[in-house]
Amino acid sequence: MYIKDNDTQRKKEIYEHITMVNIFSLFIVMATLILGGDFFQEELYTSIDIKVIFFLMISLISFTLILAYLSKNRSTQKKKFITKYDVFYILLFTLGAVFALLLVGDKFYFAEVILLLPIIIAASIWGKRCGLLMATMCTFILFINYFTENTLGHFWQGIGKNLIFISIMYIVGWFIGAIADLEGNYRRSLTILAHTDSLTGLYNHRYFQDKLAEYSETATKESPLSLVLIDIDNFKHYNDSFGHIAGDDVIKKVANVLKTTLNDQGFVARYGGEEFVVVLPNCSSEQAALVAEEMRYRVSKCKFMGHRYQLEERITISSGISSYPSHAKDIKELLKYADQALYRAKSMEKNKVEIYFSIFDNLELGENEQDVLNTIYTLISVINAKDRYTYGHSERVKDISMKLAKTINLKAQDLKILAQAAALHDIGKIEVSRGVLNKVDKLTDEEFIKIKNHAVWGSEIVKEIEPLRPASDIILYHHENYDGTGYPEGLKGEQIPILARIIRIVDSFDAMVSNRPYKNTMSKLEALAELKRCSGTMFDPVLVEDFINMIREEKIKKYNI
């Protein structure tokens, strides 16, 4: 931040100096024309000379143009291209100096010095080349002036006497232009330093935030802004195995792959740690997914030191994608939704690209129901902050439940209700404290009652929204056991809705294979064996068989079976 503040102050001071030089140069040109034109005569004290008014108006207009131009071009960095406004601006001073020299130059001693003004201005704004070019132009003007006023012999004699002045014009153009170029190069170096991550050479987090805000101002539905958040999978495992130096090499190599894959579509920045972010203006989420998929593929094919000892026997990345304005209403939401999509990709399978979506996006809601849904969004965010496991667990339960439901050919309407219920089945845990949710020791009777009540609380929350009401019963009964020993109502067998029976199986399976502070993680085969053992008591035996067959046949990558 210090570099940026110092650079801003330096830029402001240079701008002030250039502005003063331009205004003072204008004053000299106009004063030369007025004084040399004998405008201040005795008659002026008794009458108004129209020429004085004309020159005052020209001075005022020129002054305004100077301020307008310099305000538009406050940067002291050298431009790649000279615009028509640049040409018009320098012509303003050049013509003023030429008129002063040709019209009233004979009334001032060594009036040719006025030609230094456009040289100084051109060199200070556009650098050495433009300064030398303007010096050449002013030399040509000087030749014309001598040629029109003298014979050929006197012309060459006059030019010979002014060789020193001509040399000075070139020296001024070269020296001031060189200083301007050095200043511009210095400022560009500072800008690069302030915007670049020292490890990877990518843009840093500050540059990313600034450009994201800039791009969001012009993004529309027809020209959306997409964000890809990328994380290196199992990077902590690699760091712990091979050390931080090797880990840094992985980060640098992945960064290079991402940068070379992107080309000129947008830019890549290091978000922090082993995370990267890709900003894609004028790009839909589907187009961004193609870019992210290509990045994922290229990284997975790269060879890194010790990659065979990784959990996947290679280095991989996962990506989450969101778009503005189709997904998010501002850049804060854009980042949040990309992060949620990334977390979903990592919690499910890793080495995967996920586009953000919400099961609530297409609900037809009344005004009051929209307020309740906004509250549910807030509750989900609170649960996510309170217990990240619950959020990831709900996402996994939703995805695997949908796979099982499609395997047994449930109807489309049932699939929609199942997706909503599975995503929200633990929302009632908002009423349970963080300490109870993450408690390592055995729960007290009072604490266990609170845990059991989360199904009732969740059902009551969801029931407030008419389009979600069918999912409320599924949430209420997702802890009922097939033999009637579950809660809250002790339903058994076919009394339990089939969607609740599906969630009961998937919920238990994911809990068994997930790492939690209060229990040991089972292997995937052990979890399947436990489902089989409890088939007919806790779980629907037919659905258990369907689930086991689905896992074995599809070989879900997450569970590596």
Pick from 330-334, 383-387, 534-538: least confident: 383-387
Structural domain for 341, as ranges: 196-357
- Say yes or no to pLDDT of 240 above 80: yes
CATH of the domain at 206: 3.30.70.270
What is the predicted pLDDT for the residue at 104? 61
The one-letter code for the residue type at 434 is: R
211 vs 264, residue with greater confidence: 211
For 404-443, the pLDDT digits (tens) are 999 999 999 999 899 889 988 988 888 888 777 777 778 8
Please check whether residues 161 and 226 belong to one and the same domain.
Answer: no
Please check whether residues 387 and 492 belong to one and the same domain.
Answer: yes
Number of domains in the chain: 3
57 vs 261, residue with greater confidence: 261
What is the predicted pLDDT for the residue at 115? 83
Please check whether residues 137 and 169 belong to one and the same domain.
Answer: yes
- Read off the pLDDT of each residue in 218-238 and give the average, rounded to a whole number: 91
What is the predicted pLDDT for the residue at 396? 83
Q: Which of 274, 275, 395, 480 is labelled catalytic? A: 274
Please check whether residues 154 and 246 belong to one and the same domain.
Answer: no
Residue 34's pLDDT band, with cuts at 50, 70 and 90, is low
Please check whether residues 388 and 533 belong to one and the same domain.
Answer: yes
Please check whether residues 226 and 301 belong to one and the same domain.
Answer: yes
Please check whether residues 253 and 396 belong to one and the same domain.
Answer: no
Distance between CA 18 and CA 510 in Å, rounded? 68
For 452-492, the pLDDT digits (tens) are 899 999 999 888 888 888 999 999 999 999 999 999 999 99
467: DSSP letter: G
Q: Which of 195, 227, 255 lies at the terminal end of a domain, its last residue?
A: 195
Measure CA 7 to chain center.
23
Six token digits for residue 489: 């109502």
Non-local (6+) Cβ contacts of 474 within 8 A are: 417, 418, 421, 425, 497, 499, 500, 503
- Say yes or no to pLDDT of 560 above 50: no
For the entire predicted model, the pTM comes to 0.64
- Say yes or no to pLDDT of 5 above 60: no
For 197-218, the pLDDT digits (tens) are 999 999 999 999 999 999 999 8
- Say yes or no to pLDDT of 559 above 50: no
Please check whether residues 492 and 516 belong to one and the same domain.
Answer: yes
For 160-206, the pLDDT digits (tens) are 667 888 888 898 889 988 888 888 888 788 778 888 999 999 999 99
β-bridge mates for residue 321, sequence order? 228, 355
What is the predicted pLDDT for the residue at 468? 84
Question: Pairing between strand 317-324 and 267-272?
Answer: unpaired
Please check whether residues 141 and 288 belong to one and the same domain.
Answer: no
Please check whether residues 16 and 76 belong to one and the same domain.
Answer: yes
Residue 112's pLDDT band, with cuts at 50, 70 and 90, is confident
Residue 149's pLDDT band, with cuts at 50, 70 and 90, is low
Cα-Cα-Cα-Cα torsion 129, 130, 133, 138, nearest 10 degrees, comes to -140
Q: Which of 175, 195, 215 lies at the terminal end of a domain, its last residue?
A: 195
Q: Is 38 left (phi over 0), alpha (psi -120 to 50) or beta?
A: left
Residue 68's pLDDT band, with cuts at 50, 70 and 90, is low
- Say yes or no to pLDDT of 542 above 80: yes
CATH of the domain at 433: 1.10.3210.10
Distance between CA 184 and CA 165 in Å, rounded? 28
- Read off the pLDDT of each residue in 65-81 and give the average, rounded to a whole number: 52
For 488-525, the pLDDT digits (tens) are 999 999 999 999 999 999 999 988 887 665 567 788 88
Six token digits for residue 412: 């489309």
Distance between CA 480 and CA 435 in Å, rounded? 25
Provide the 3-class DSSP secondary structure of residue 269.
strand
Please check whether residues 396 and 472 belong to one and the same domain.
Answer: yes
What is the predicted pLDDT for the residue at 160? 63
pLDDT more than 70, % of the chain: 70
What is the predicted pLDDT for the residue at 125? 79
Distance between CA 133 and CA 129 in Å, rounded? 6
- Say yes or no to pLDDT of 226 above 90: yes
Non-local (6+) Cβ contacts of 377 within 8 A are: 360
- Read off the pLDDT of each residue in 50-66 and give the average, rounded to a whole number: 55
Pick from 151-165, 263-277, 478-492: least confident: 151-165
Q: Which of 195, 224, 249 lies at the terminal end of a domain, its last residue?
A: 195
Please check whether residues 256 and 171 belong to one and the same domain.
Answer: no
Look up 274 and say whether it is catalytic. Answer: yes
